[in-house]
Amino acid sequence: MTPPLIRRPTEAPRVGFVSLGCPKALVDSEQILTQLRAEGYAISPSYQGADVVVVNTCGFIDAAVAESLDAIGEALHENGKVIVTGCLGAKEGGEFVRHAHPRVLAVTGPHATHEVMSAVHAHLPKPHDPFVDLVPPQGIKLTPRHYAYLKISEGCNHRCTFCIIPSMRGDLVSRPIGDILAEAERLLHAGVRELLVVSQDTSAYGVDVRYRTGFWEGRPIKTRIVELAAALAALGRTHGAWVRLHYVYPYPHVDDIVPLMTSDSTAGGLLPYLDVPFQHASPRILKLMKRPAAPEKVLDRVRAWRSVQPDITLRSTFIVGFPGETDAEFDELLAFVEAARLDRVGCFAYSAVEGAAANALPGAVPESVKEERRERLMATQAKISAARLRAKVGRELDVLIDSVDGDRAMARTTADAPEIDGVVHVSNAEGAQAGAFARVRVTSSDAHDLHADRAA
């Protein structure tokens, strides 16, 4: 083990941070880092330079559990003083982590900034004179400065049989709408050009508080996703920034959100983009999965959304090889994918997660069949995606530049969420700046990405 750092009394105590998991976990990390900096702690980029290390874990699937346990082990080996937070920390009330790594100092669940700070205080006292004014108004962000995740709620009221998130994060708790809009405005004032709205179930925002009336800029506003989307769209237009919705279940009121989407991306506002995790198309499998939202007429809904917003980008994820899935039910899913012609699709072969109700279902599908189905679905989707991208060749599109390297840049259109969708490879990009919008002319495409020149 590396000897502990010897720090001069005048230096700020240093906290190392390892952040694993999904965008929701990332937001938790940002909140903890913001609080640490607000209290005057320094953030150490290395284990050796840290007085204590916080590891934010993920426990969604078995591979994530293994990665999280490895990260804790590495932090213990390299530093020795480790506080664990995040989804894996909630498992068995913290005992799961303690059993694997008895030397950890403290274990908390997700969304526990207060508990993590208490653990930090217990093992690394707060500096006497916090440099509060050193914290930028938007807080500490782990994403590039020009885009930021905006978490609107925590937890979930559903009990999908393949998922253990509700047992780790609890039931839905919606943030006050005024707090969310104030955070969005702070981020936009600080230069953020794209807000990514995340939660476990974005459409359900406000259900837990019965859509109670909150306040924003002195005016009453309902705690409801349609009102929130409209207010964020207005903020986006004021600041010339994009707003993108993730994890939107196809409840009927989503039909009221689609008309709020902008058809002029240069003006900012709510993007014509919906990330809707359908997971399957067979009513029997969806019932076994206990998925929210009725599966009937989903295709009609997709067509209706497109008739209102012809340029809407639809993204979804599917699970194949769920226990009991027959060849015919898989074919039903494949037929849906072919008919819906979604823009972006992620597909997972079902994998049992410890503690998930689906593990008790009969009819486990052999691994080879799961993999074969996954490959067939992805091959089908690759053709659809390639055709939809090919239709953009020759068009001029607005992009947000993510990074620049010499005369080449990586950028995204309104159809591309960071990290999960495709990108635009821009040539002759001299002088372009990360975080700025640009107009490009699409010159070619492949199955996932576009290639473009900067338009004059």
Q: What do you get for the CA distance between the two ends of the chain, in Å?
A: 57
CA–CA dist 185, 179 (Å, integer): 10
Query: What residues between 274 and 303 interact with ligand SF4 by CB under 6 A?
Result: 292
Taking the complex as a whole, the smallest distance from the CB of residue 204 to ligand SF4 amounts, in Å, to 8
- Judge contact between 233 and 58, C-beta under 8 A: no
Taking the complex as a whole, the smallest distance from the CB of residue 336 to ligand SF4 amounts, in Å, to 19
Decide whether 158 or 224 has the Cβ nearer to ligand SF4. 158
Kind and range of the H or E run holding 198: strand 194-198
Alpha carbon 378 to chain centroid, angstroms = 22
Among 165, 228, 399, 404, binds ligand SF4 (CB under 6 A): 165
Site track 23-52 with ligand SF4 (rule: CB under 6 A), x = hit: ------------------------------
Decide whether 361 or 393 has the Cβ nearer to ligand SF4. 361
Burial, 237: exposed, middle or buried (Cβ in 10 Å; 0-12, 13-18, 19+)?
Answer: middle
Among 91, 158, 315, 374, binds ligand SF4 (CB under 6 A): 158
Q: What is the dihedral of CA 130, 135, 138, 142, to 10 degrees?
A: -110
- Judge contact between 389 and 413, C-beta under 8 A: no
Burial, 40: exposed, middle or buried (Cβ in 10 Å; 0-12, 13-18, 19+)?
Answer: middle
Burial, 236: exposed, middle or buried (Cβ in 10 Å; 0-12, 13-18, 19+)?
Answer: buried
Among 27, 52, 156, 334, binds ligand SF4 (CB under 6 A): 156
- Judge contact between 150 and 28, C-beta under 8 A: no
Stretch that binds ligand SF4, among 159-167, 174-182, 185-193, 431-439 (CB under 6 A): 159-167
Decide whether 87 or 181 has the Cβ nearer to ligand SF4. 87
φ, ψ for residue 251 (rounded to 5)?
-70, 160
Under the binding rule (CB under 6 A), the answer on residue 337 touching ligand SF4 is no
Taking the complex as a whole, the smallest distance from the CB of residue 364 to ligand SF4 amounts, in Å, to 20
φ, ψ for residue 195 (rounded to 5)?
-105, 130
Stretch that binds ligand SF4, among 95-103, 153-161, 296-304, 400-408 (CB under 6 A): 153-161
Decide whether 156 or 409 has the Cβ nearer to ligand SF4. 156
Stretch that binds ligand SF4, among 5-13, 155-163, 314-322, 338-346 (CB under 6 A): 155-163
Measured from the Cβ of residue 259, the count of other Cβ atoms closer than 10 Å reads 10
CA–CA dist 305, 261 (Å, integer): 11
Under the binding rule (CB under 6 A), the answer on residue 163 touching ligand SF4 is yes
- Judge contact between 357 and 160, C-beta under 8 A: no
Taking the complex as a whole, the smallest distance from the CB of residue 163 to ligand SF4 amounts, in Å, to 3
Size of the site for ligand SF4 (CB under 6 A): 10
Q: What is the dihedral of CA 57, 61, 66, 72, to 10 degrees?
A: 10
Decide whether 268 or 292 has the Cβ nearer to ligand SF4. 292
Query: What residues between 166 and 195 interact with ligand SF4 by CB under 6 A?
Result: 166
Secondary structure string (H, E, C) spanning 112-161: CHHHHHHHHHHHCCCCCCCCHHHCCCCCCCCCCCCEEEEECEECCCCCCC
Decide whether 16 or 110 has the Cβ nearer to ligand SF4. 110
Strands 194-198 and 242-245: parallel
Taking the complex as a whole, the smallest distance from the CB of residue 170 to ligand SF4 amounts, in Å, to 11
Stretch that binds ligand SF4, among 86-94, 151-159, 263-271, 330-338 (CB under 6 A): 151-159
Stretch that binds ligand SF4, among 60-68, 105-113, 162-170, 211-219 (CB under 6 A): 162-170
- Judge contact between 148 and 197, C-beta under 8 A: no
Site track 195-234 with ligand SF4 (rule: CB under 6 A), x = hit: -----xx---------------------------------
Under the binding rule (CB under 6 A), the answer on residue 346 touching ligand SF4 is no
Among 69, 84, 112, 160, binds ligand SF4 (CB under 6 A): 160
Decide whether 286 or 423 has the Cβ nearer to ligand SF4. 286
- Judge contact between 87 and 25, C-beta under 8 A: yes
**Cα–Cα distances in angstroms (integers) from residue 328 to residues 282, 325, 361, 373, 436, in the given order:** 9, 8, 18, 12, 48
Decide whether 279 or 445 has the Cβ nearer to ligand SF4. 279
**Which residues bind to ligand SF4, rule: CB under 6 A?**
156, 158-160, 163, 165-166, 200-201, 292
